[in-house]
Structure 1
Amino acid sequence: MTRPSRIAIPCLALIAATAVASGAWGAELKKVSFGTNWLPEAEHGGYYQAVADGSYADCGLDVTILPGGPQVNNRALLLAGKIEFHMGGNLIQAFSAVEQDIPLKVVAAHFQKEPQVILTHPGQGLDSWGSLKDIKLFIGENGFQSYYQWMIAAYGFKASQRAPYTFNPAPFLADPKSGQQGYVTSEPFAIEKAGGFEPNIFLIADYGFDTYASTVEVMDEMIETGPEAVQCFVDASARGWYTYLYGDPSAGDELILTSNPEMTPEQLAFTRKMLRDYGIVDSGDARTLGIGAMTDARFNSFYEKMVDAGVVPDGLDIASSYTLDFVDKGVGLDLRKTLTGE
């Protein structure tokens, strides 16, 4: 799902790896482009890190990162064959591709948890999931049509509770008995800055919304004609994420700040901490199978929930929406152990 604008930026830099080493295809690195789903930020840190530290180049790729944003549709570029890799949102997009007979697949999931949260004011008795079912909730249209329908079906939330969210926190700040949607990596930071308090945070993934997020999508043709490039991108991205989360992220941060001058080191540090604290990237199956891990069980579980909630139709061949050929190989677990000592 495309995020609404949080940052105004007049132009977007294209960050590319420099072809400095011989790759798997000879002296020249294979040039590929990766379109993200938003402006440069720490939520993309592993990819920028892999560019900066040469992880992509080490296995043969010269990767250009094309930032997304409010006026950018990188997924359309993927479908048109203009880019090779695209950062998806959650699995609803992949299921929709099956419904529309679009020949693409998810090849990795770098967020094991959807970072979507509901925020409430502290000290108002709104400190449990059940307490949210009787208050006004500011939810955007995309959220209302997706995860909120699951909240209705699974927990008995009501459509009448929902008030439109315009991505302005002022109504939430003014009403201490309300709740607001957000990303765990971003909105809590903004609320603390604007409101002077740390909000209660309810990560919907921890209540059963078990989609993957920040997926890597490629067209079927890419898998057929360039499997080595796909494997390189998946493996190097995992290593980049381990370094960004647990090692020295300065090289990746420098690229992000260069590409997005409205970003701040303070925001980057906050986001990286929340990614670690809430297990967004490195939790569950990723702890044993490596960052980017996916399983049939998770795809099936989330699909069934979306069918029950009326978000996607029954009977889709969701097995055609992904492949496990490039993940679950433990890539980077040795690096994690070195960086964390665990």
Structure 2
Amino acid sequence: MKILKKIRLSVMGIVLFLILAACNGQESSSSKKEEKNSTENDKQEMNDVKIVLNWFAKSQHGGLYAGIDKGLFEENGLKVTVESGGPQVSSINIVASGKAEFGLAHADQIAMARNEGIELVAVAAVMQGSPQAFMFHKGYGIKDFEELNGRKVYIQPGIVYWEFLKNKYDLSGVEELAYTGQHVNFVDDMDAVTQAFVTSEPYFMKLDGIDVETKLISDAGYDPYNVVLFVSKDYLEKNEKTVRAFTKAFVEGWNLYKDSYEEINKLVQKDNPDIELESLKFESETQAEFVYGRDAEEHGVGYMTEERWATLIEQLHELGLVNEIYDAKEIFTTEFLPKH
């Protein structure tokens, strides 16, 4: 009897062990399955989005590259593809057609797109003002724009700020010549004036041993936000979560770029090998005031105001470049900007 009892106990122990082992196996298998499903879900939650630049990759896109390099977009569930801009590329048309979710353009371009029936919404402004300027030989600058009269001015035909200046000032005495991107004629004529960006052309002139000075167009009162992040109105209404996540990572990228621009510029150069690192450095340092200063100093990178947008719309309407004066709130929002 004692022997039978011991056998029963042994059998029961073996059965109990097998049951527990099976349970543990199921639990382990279930945990692995849950872990695998969780990983798969994480992968599924990554949202592929594309952004189209307003020009070839430059320092004015540094914050975007910083955000990608430092994993800020991935942290927000986004896998970002960057499409280069250029003279034949319209970020506005590409976004409007749905071939990209995000784009970069200047504020006046976004405001005028409504004339074509394209409804866009700006969600962040990289530059608080415009670095567009006139460039002169040193010692041949002007204090007032009417002093351009009697001089040759190389300007891109139809460029908005030139139309604004001609409407505000009497520039009938200007010899207007088409800007081609080349500065040979400017260099040889001490009285000549050419359009420029304070963030680039002065650097190249210095390399050629030519001393120049500049006058910002904003001194005349035309100062739209530059390099503005935008989406289509339709996309925003259906994808608020994605727009919020992208804008957050975009702005945080710019905050990182402030102190790491030399490192990030190496990544920018990979997408635009034609530009030198020294040129990118010059651009980064001269654009800092536009990106991190002015209203951004108090309210953070990307900040925009209704007053600035409303003023721009009125100016464009006066020039006949927008068909009607509309509510500025229809084309911009600060709702998605991170709290500063």
The answer to whether residue 89 in structure 2 is matched with residue 72 in structure 1 is yes
Which residue of structure 1 lines up, in the alignment, with residue 23 of structure 2? none
Which residue of structure 2 lines up, in the alignment, with residue 187 of structure 1? 201
Question: 1: CA distance between counterparts of 2:279 and 2:165?
Answer: 29
The answer to whether residue 285 in structure 2 is matched with residue 273 in structure 1 is yes
SS class of match (2:321): coil
Which residue of structure 2 lines up, in the alignment, with residue 258 of structure 1? 270
Which residue of structure 2 lines up, in the alignment, with residue 156 of structure 1? 170
Which residue of structure 2 lines up, in the alignment, with residue 326 of structure 1? 336
Which residue of structure 2 lines up, in the alignment, with residue 36 of structure 1? 53
SS class of match (1:263): coil
Question: 1: CA distance between counterparts of 2:306 and 2:64?
Answer: 25
Could you list the structure 1 runs, at least 4 aligned residues long, displaced by more than 6 angstroms after superposition. Answer: none
Question: 2: CA distance between counterparts of 1:280 and 1:55?
Answer: 23
What code does the residue aligned with 2:293 have?
S
Residue 293 of structure 1: how far off its partner (Å): 0.7
Cα displacement string for residues 183-240 of structure 1 (whole angstroms, at most 9, x for unaligned residues): 111111122223x123111121243212111111211222122212111221221121
Question: 2: CA distance between counterparts of 1:201 and 1:138?
Answer: 14
What code does the residue aligned with 1:29 have?
M
Instruction: Identify which of 123, 126, 145 aligns with 1:107.
Output: 123
Question: 2: CA distance between counterparts of 1:294 and 1:263?
Answer: 30
Is the CA contact 2:92–2:110 (under 8 Å) kept in the aligned structure 1? no
Question: 2: CA distance between counterparts of 1:311 and 1:160?
Answer: 23
Instruction: Identify which of 286, 292, 297 aligns with 2:302.
Output: 292
> Mapping of 1:135-174 within 5 angstroms?
135-143=151-159, 146-158=160-172, 160-174=174-188
Structure having the higher helix fraction is 2
SS class of match (1:128): coil
Please give the root-mean-square deviation of Cα atoms over the aligned residues, in Å: 2.2
Is the CA contact 1:98–1:321 (under 8 Å) kept in the aligned structure 2? no
Instruction: Identify which of 85, 93, 109 aligns with 1:93.
Output: 109
Question: 2: CA distance between counterparts of 1:71 and 1:97?
Answer: 17
Is the CA contact 1:104–1:219 (under 8 Å) kept in the aligned structure 2? yes
SS class of match (1:108): strand
Cα 1:209–1:96 change in 2 (3 A) is: same
Question: 2: CA distance between counterparts of 1:80 and 1:99?
Answer: 16
Is the CA contact 1:281–1:291 (under 8 Å) kept in the aligned structure 2? yes
Cα 1:135–1:311 change in 2 (3 A) is: farther
Cα 1:142–1:197 change in 2 (3 A) is: same
The answer to whether residue 56 in structure 2 is matched with residue 56 in structure 1 is no
Is the CA contact 2:306–2:328 (under 8 Å) kept in the aligned structure 1? no
Which residue of structure 2 lines up, in the alignment, with residue 116 of structure 1? 132
Residue 275 of structure 1: how far off its partner (Å): 0.5
Give me the identity figure in percent.
28
Question: 1: CA distance between counterparts of 2:262 and 2:178?
Answer: 38
Question: 2: CA distance between counterparts of 1:326 and 1:157?
Answer: 42
What code does the residue aligned with 2:322 have?
V
Question: 1: CA distance between counterparts of 2:207 and 2:90?
Answer: 30
Residue 97 of structure 1: how far off its partner (Å): 2.1
Which residue of structure 1 lines up, in the alignment, with residue 311 of structure 2? 301
> Mapping of 1:213-232 within 5 angstroms?
213-232=226-245
Is the CA contact 1:34–1:83 (under 8 Å) kept in the aligned structure 2? yes
Structure 1 unmatched ranges of 5 or more = 1-21, 332-342
Which residue of structure 2 lines up, in the alignment, with residue 15 of structure 1? none
What code does the residue aligned with 1:170 have?
V
Cα displacement string for residues 32-63 of structure 1 (whole angstroms, at most 9, x for unaligned residues): 11110111111111111111111212222111
Residue 317 of structure 1: how far off its partner (Å): 4.5
The answer to whether residue 64 in structure 2 is matched with residue 47 in structure 1 is yes
Which residue of structure 2 lines up, in the alignment, with residue 9 of structure 1? none
Residue 88 of structure 1: how far off its partner (Å): 1.1
Question: 2: CA distance between counterparts of 1:187 and 1:272?
Answer: 13
Is the CA contact 2:51–2:100 (under 8 Å) kept in the aligned structure 1? yes
Is the CA contact 2:291–2:301 (under 8 Å) kept in the aligned structure 1? yes
Question: 2: CA distance between counterparts of 1:318 and 1:160?
Answer: 34
Which residue of structure 1 lines up, in the alignment, with residue 220 of structure 2? 207
What code does the residue aligned with 1:284 have?
R
Cα 1:270–1:236 change in 2 (3 A) is: same
